[in-house]
A and B are shown apart, each in its own frame.
Chain A
Amino acid sequence: MKNRMTPRENLGRRIEQFHGVSLEQVLGEIAYLRDAGDSVIAGGSLAYGLGNRLSDLDLLITGTATVESSRIPMQHFIDSLRVDVWKLSRALVEECFERAEQALGGEGAVEGSFGDIDHEDELKLLHRIAFGVVVDGGGLEDIGGRDYRAVASSLVVREYAERMRTSALLAQLAYRSGRSIAAVANARLAIESALNAVVVHRGLPFSGDKWLRDRLVNQTPDLASVYEPFRQLPENPARDASAFVDAALATCVEMWGMDLEIDALVSAANWRNTDLKLGEVGADRLLLSARFGALWGLDENEAAAWGRFAAGGAESPDAMWSLEECCEDGMPLCLRLHELGVLSLHWDKGVPIEGLHPMRTRGAPA
């Protein structure tokens, strides 16, 4: 029998079941935060039919007359239900979508600017607005014909395609440098990024990385078997990294049609220095980060490799150099410094949506 409840009724039934709390009680608790004419929109796992008894309820208060916006959620407890409330003026919401549109239209990499692996805040916010359940008020009427869902989805696809590219590069560099755990971990991240992008590309709201596997099983079952060989890292990464990385990257290519060969990737990527400088003390060659109060001893080859980067200007503030400039002994050093958090990775360009060619899998919507 089909579930004929509205999304709001569904959400209300779930929090009533889990906590014995009604949506009206929730609205009463947060009434002090509301301004005239604003709407309350629920997003997050509970609103999207995921979540469980311990999930918090994410609410957004927004409207044209909303004042005192806050990007930090205000936490409320109603019996056992935890409610996180974001309050944003409509102008801020529109500004967020405008930035997303600009990022999508621009050449530069999105690179976590709307939320990285640790903080997915703005990506989630855009999806709460575009896909959320209106709990009270009129919701968001379109302004200027903006397709909120298309913008929110495209941004996630682009962000995750870029993450897939970064992980694919790191997996290959790490494998070549003998860093087998980093190689297999990044190969799995590449697959997960590719799958997250496919799920959102199919029109489902973004709900963060943690729901991926359950979503594959319940909402996109044709993709569950794609993920299966990569869910667990090899028991012996030193022995099995090569096969694992190759298989993962081949699957990513199949999913998105993007060239992930290392030669294609290194030509578009750069290392950026934080504040590393080479120092010489007697016969010792020391790499210093004054900012982090950290010092590393280099062997002769490493010191020579760093010396070449420094001669090219690598020790200037925020200096960047192409991965192509790293010769055989320079690349492992740069990767190690990236692994230490003192060299960051940057791309010349983002991954334009038009350049992606999503596969059509069994059971996928046309």
Chain B
Amino acid sequence: MRPIDVDARRYAWCRSRALWIIGMPARIHLEDAHGALEAGQDGLLRFVARRIGDACAVSLNLAVNYERPIPPYAMRSSWALERLQGHELWQPCWELIRGIDDASNEEIVERCESLIRRVCAIVGEIPNILTPEGHYPAIAMARDWSKLLDAVGEEAPLPYNWTLPT
């Protein structure tokens, strides 16, 4: 048996949110990054790369340090980066958050993909909600998390009417 080395409420709260952030906002931004790369939309690409840096830093901080709650957006990246000091993914997160001006569009997309892949290896995987084949499995996974969160008396990260029949 593998013990979960943290209080059950904190584990369920932090892990569910970490997964959801890397599984939905980060994926939406990555899709935007691919679209922007193809269309030569430099501004969009650089903006979503920043958001990917934010999302990865926050998701990682939740999963690694079990920090809660999540602060307002304006303070989120500094909050996450401070607590990730010394982590091997601090630098790639910071570079994206800072904003990349001196790399090619292809290189920026590559850095985004690489960071998401490395964060997912720590946080876990969630089916791609943006695809026809991943949409319902992702909702089903969110429903499973909602049940666990209910069981420990915590709120789910998604509106309940997204995942549970009313």
A residues contacting B by CB (< 8 A) are 51-55, 72, 75, 77, 82, 116-118, 166-167, 170, 174, 179, 181-182, 185-186, 188-189, 209-217, 231-233, 235, 292-294, 338-342, 344-345
Contact = CB atoms under 8 A, between A and B. Distances in A.
**Residue in B31, B70, B78 with the greatest tally of chain A CB atoms within 10 Å:** B78
Given A54-B32, A75-B135, A181 B78 contact: yes
Interface residues of B, number: 43
B108 interface: no
Given A72-B159, A181-B81, A185-B78, A118 B73 contact: yes
Contacts of A293: 7, 9-10, 68
Given A52-B36, A82-B130, A293-B68, A72 B162 contact: yes
Contacts of A53: 35, 38-39
B78 A342 contact: no
B69 A292 contact: yes
Given A53-B35, A210-B47, A340 B42 contact: no
Contact of A72 (B36, B41, B97, B161): B161
Nearest to A215: B43
7 contacts: A51-B35, A53-B35, A54-B35, A181-B81, A188-B99, A233-B99, A235-B98
B126 interface: no
B82 to A, nearest CB: 8
B86 interface: no
B100 interface: yes
A292 B62 CA distance: 13
B4 interface: no
B74 interface: yes
Contact of B98 (A166, A174, A214, A232): A232
Contacts of B72: 338, 341, 344-345
**Residue in B70, B74, B82, B161 with the greatest tally of chain A CB atoms within 10 Å:** B74
Chain B contact residues: helix, strand, loop or mixed: helix
A72 B69 CA distance: 25
A232 B75 CA distance: 17
Given A117-B73, A213-B42, A217-B43, 10 more contacts: A53-B39, A72-B159, A181-B82, A182-B74, A210-B48, A215-B43, A235-B98, A338-B71, A341-B72, A345-B72
B154 to A, nearest CB: 9
Contact of B79 (A51, A55, A167, A339): A339
Interface in B74-101: 74-75, 77-79, 81-82, 97-101
B34 interface: yes
Contacts of B36: 52
Given A52-B36, A72-B159, A211-B43, A339 B78 contact: yes
A54 to B, nearest CB: 3
B165 interface: no
A257 to B, nearest CB: 23
B44 interface: yes
